[in-house]
Amino acid sequence: MALPILLIVIVAAALAFHFWSPWWLTPLASNWRQMDDTLTITLVITGVAFVAVNLFVAWAIFRYRHRDGHRAAYEPHNRRLEAWLIGITTVGIAAMLAPGLFVYAKLIDPPSNAMVVEVVGQQWQWRFRLPGPDGRLGTSDPSYVTADNPLGLNPKDPANQDNRIVDAPELHLLVGVPVKLLLRAKDVLHDFYVPPFRTRMNMVPGMITQMWLTPTQTGRFDILCAQLCGVGHSNMRGVVVVDDRPAYDAWLAKLPTFAALQAQHAGAGALDPLAAKGKLLAQAKGCAGCHSVDGSAGVGPTWHGLYGKTETFQDGSTAKVDDTYLATFIRNPTERVPKGFAPLMPKLELTDADLAALIAYIKTLAPAAPTAPAAPTASTETWQLAQNSLVTPREPMQMAPLSPGPASSPGYSAPSAPPMSGPPPLATPLPQLAIPPQPGNAPTAPSAPSQPRVPSMVPPQNR
C-alpha cells in the first residue's frame, strides 16, 4: 500500500506547486501572446497525462496486488487497448505541436515595415548594428574580422559606412514599432533570448537566423544567452531598452557610424599604436565580458589598477603583477588562480604581438603615480602667497607691521626690509601676515591702533 500512497502524494504535491508556485512567467512586453498560449496548451496536455498515468499506476498496483488465492491472467495483446492508447497519444501530441508550428511560421515572417537590427553574439558579449539613413545594412564576412573591425564589416561596401555600431551590450528599441532581428554568431552556438518578449532564436556560426517582435511596453529587459556557450555563459548578459520616440532618437543620434569608428581607431593608433591595438583586442577576444576596466566586480579580476599591484592566489602565495606575470597568466590562466575567483578563463590563441598589445593596454589602466610638489624657488612669503592666489608670484614688498607694538612709540620708523634673493631656511619662522604701505608714503608707525587691511587676492585679469 505504501507505493500507491506515495504516487498519489506526488501527484497532489505537483498540482499544488503548479497552482501556488511563486515562480511564473514574467509580464509580457511584446506582441507574442501566442507564445504564452502554446505554453499553456503544452502544460495542460502534459499535466493531464502526468496525473492520469500516475493515478492509473497507483490504481493498478493496488488492484492487482498479490493476494493469496488469486492468480494473474496472461494476456500479451489487447488490440482494443492499444488502439485507444495510440489514438489518444496521437491527438495529444498533435494538439501540442500544431499551435507551435503556426506560431513559428509567423515568427520567421516579419512585416514589410519592420526595422532591421543585427545582433552579433560572441563569447561572452553582445554587439549590435543598425542601418544608416539609407535603411540598408552593408555586407560582412569573417575574413574582415580584425581588432578594430570586430563585426567583420566589409570596409569597401559603401552601405557599411553609415551603419550605426553599438559596441556595448545595450540595445534600444522603439515601442510599438516592429523590429526584425538578424542573428549571427562569431564563434560557437548562442541563443538570443529576452524573457518578457517570449521570443528566442539560435545563433549558428556561418549562417544568419532571424526573428521579429513588436515591443509593447517601455522599460529595461535582460538579454540572456539560452545556449550553453562556454564557461562564461552565465555572464553573457545584456539589456534591451524600449524607448518612446524622443528617447530613442536621442540614443540613435549618439551612435557612431562605422566610418567614424574606423577613423577614431586610426587616430588612437597613431598616438599609442600598441595600447590602442590591445584595447581593440580585449573587445574582440571577449575579455571585456569578464574583466572590467573601471574597478567593478566581474567574473575575473578587474584590470583597473591591476598592473603593479601584488596579487594573492588561492594557495596563499603572492606575486607582483608585471609584464612577466601577465604574459604567464594569459598564456596559462588556470596555473595560478587569483584568490576569490574560479579557474574559468580559457586559453586564448594569441601571437606574441597580440600578447604585448594586451599588456600595453592593461598598463594604461594602472593608476597614475602621485607627483611630489615642486620645491619653491622664490622667497617663502612669495611662495606662500602663490599657493592661495592665481596672481603670478612677485618680489616681496616692504610691509608694515600688522598690529601695534613697540614700533608705535613716537619717533619710531620701520626699517626697510633687505631684499631676499631666495627662500629662507626651513628653520626660519614664517613672517607675520602684513599689509603693503600706501603708495607714496613712507612706512611709519600708525598714530592709533586701526583695523588692518588685507591685500587683494584677485587675479590681475579680473582687477
C-alpha 142 chain-centroid distance: 25
What is the rounded CA–CA span in Å between residue 122 and residue 41? 35
The per-residue pLDDT for range 107-144, each reduced to its tens digit, is 888 898 899 999 999 888 899 999 988 888 888 888 88
Residue 328 pLDDT: 79
Per-residue pLDDT at 346 exceeds 80: no
Q: Give the span between the Cα atoms of 231 and 316, in whole angstroms.
A: 25
322 vs 319: CA distance, rounded Å: 9
- Side-chain half-sphere CA neighbours of 240 within 13 A: 26
What does 79-114 look like in DSSP terms, one character per residue? HHHHHHHHHHHHHHHHHHHHHHHHHHHHHTS--TT-
Q: How far is 193 from 389, CA to CA, in rounded Å?
A: 60
Burial (CB count within 10 angstroms: exposed 0-12, middle 13-18, buried 19+), residue 54:
middle
* Grid cell for residue 249: 532618437
- Kindly state the DSSP code that residue 446 receives in the 8-state scheme: -
pLDDT at 311: 79
- Quick one: which of 171, 174, 179 has its CA closest to 113? 179
Which residue has 596563499 as its cell numbers? 316
362 CB-side CA count, 13 A = 26
Q: What's the pLDDT at 373?
A: 52
d(CA 299, CA 316): 20
pLDDT bin (cut points 50, 70, 90) of residue 383 is: very low
C-alpha cell at 378: 622664490
pLDDT value at 64 more than 80: yes
Q: Report d(CA 35, CA 227) in Å as an integer.
A: 19
Please, which pLDDT band fits residue 162 given cuts at 50, 70 and 90?
A: confident
Cα separation, 134 vs 154, whole angstroms: 17
**pLDDT above 50: residue 424:** no
Measured over the CA atoms of residue 150, residue 156, residue 157 and residue 159, the dihedral's sign is positive
Q: How far apart (Å, rounded) are the C-alpha atoms in residues 416 and 418?
A: 6
Q: Check if the beta carbon of residue 138 is closer than 8 Å to that of residue 157.
A: yes
* Under 8 Å between Cβ of 199 and 266: no
Alpha carbon distance 179, 224 (integer Å): 18
Q: What are the backbone dihedrals phi and psi of residue 432, each rounded to the nearest 5 degrees, phi first?
A: -70, 150
| Residue 182 · residue 210 · CB < 8 Å | yes
- CB burial of 148-180 (b: ≥16 within 10 Å; e: otherwise) equals bbbbbbbeebebbbbbbbbeebebbbbbeebbb
- Tens digit of each residue's pLDDT (9 = 90 or more) over 297-308: 666 788 777 878
- Residue 194 predicted with pLDDT over 80: yes
More confident residue, 64 or 218: 218
Return the pLDDT at 278: 75
Report how far residue 256's alpha carbon sits from residue 119's, in angstroms, rounded to the nearest whole number: 17
CATH class of 115-263: mainly beta
Strand order through the sheet with 115-122: 164-166, 125-130, 115-122, 179-185, 209-213
pLDDT tens, position by position, 282-324: 766 667 667 777 676 666 788 777 878 787 887 778 888 887 8
Rounded mean pLDDT, 195-224: 92
**pTM of the predicted model, to two decimals?**
0.61
Residue 333 grid cell: 590562466
DSSP letters along 396-413, please?
Answer: PPP-B-SS--GGGSTT-B
Task: Look at residue 184 in the predicted model and tell me its pLDDT.
Answer: 92
- Please give the grid coordinates belonging to residue 116: 532591421
**401 pLDDT above the threshold of 80:** no
* Residue spans per domain, the chain: 1-66+79-108, 115-263, 271-365
Is the pLDDT higher at 143 or at 54? Answer: 54
Asked if 361 contacts 282 with a C-beta cutoff of 8 angstroms, the reply is yes
Say yes or no: do domains 115-263 and 271-365 share a fold. Answer: no
For the chain, the first-to-last Cα distance in angstroms comes to 103
Number of helices (H), then strands (E), belonging to the chain: the values are: 9, 12
DSSP strand pairing (219-225 vs 190-194): antiparallel
Which fold, 271-365? Cytochrome Bc1 Complex; Chain D, domain 2 (1.10.760)
Going by C-alpha positions, the residue among 126, 149, 141, 152 that lies closest to residue 280 is: 149
Please give the sequence-ordered ranges of beta strands (E in DSSP) within 99-205, or none if there are none: 115-122, 125-130, 164-166, 170-174, 179-185, 190-194, 199-203
pLDDT at residue 452 greater than cutoff 60: no
For residue 289, what pLDDT is reported?
65
Residue 419 grid coordinates? 631684499
Q: How far apart are CA 407 and CA 445, in angstroms?
A: 6
